[in-house]
Structure 1
Amino acid sequence: GIIGLAQLNGARGEIRSRRDIVRRTKLDLLYQRKWAFLLDLRLLCATPLQLAKDLFSGRSY
């Protein structure tokens, strides 16, 4: 996909510690357990907002 639950919750970019990968993994597993069409729709709608926020804050990758 284009974006996931982890990325929208700030778990993206370089992995600097074990804690980073654990957080991403937990969010990815949560996505798998809670998957529903509406969750995907929510992620899809949130993607442009997150992109704009990152571009204007200088945090884009």
Structure 2
Amino acid sequence: MDSHRKAVIIRPITDKWFHCNDEKVKEVTDSFSMATLKDAYVLFYRKRASNNSYHSTINTNKYSSRL
């Protein structure tokens, strides 16, 4: 069984994508292909500010060409 985990994440504040695995984190470039990731699933977590002053949204249509 392959226990190697991979993820591609976005940092909404900077609008940059990162490829993460068990050993390193690397910024995603235009040459990166999401197709290299198999058996994908997605979870979204967002910490709520105690005063609810921070609200942002991610436009998924903007990134759909990479998926």
TM-score computed with the length of structure 2 as normaliser: 0.29
Structure possessing the higher relative contact order (Cα contacts under 8 Å, 6 or more residues apart): 1
Q: Which structure: greater helix fraction?
A: 1
Q: Is the radius of gyration larger for structure 1 or structure 2? A: 2
TM-score computed with the length of structure 1 as normaliser: 0.30
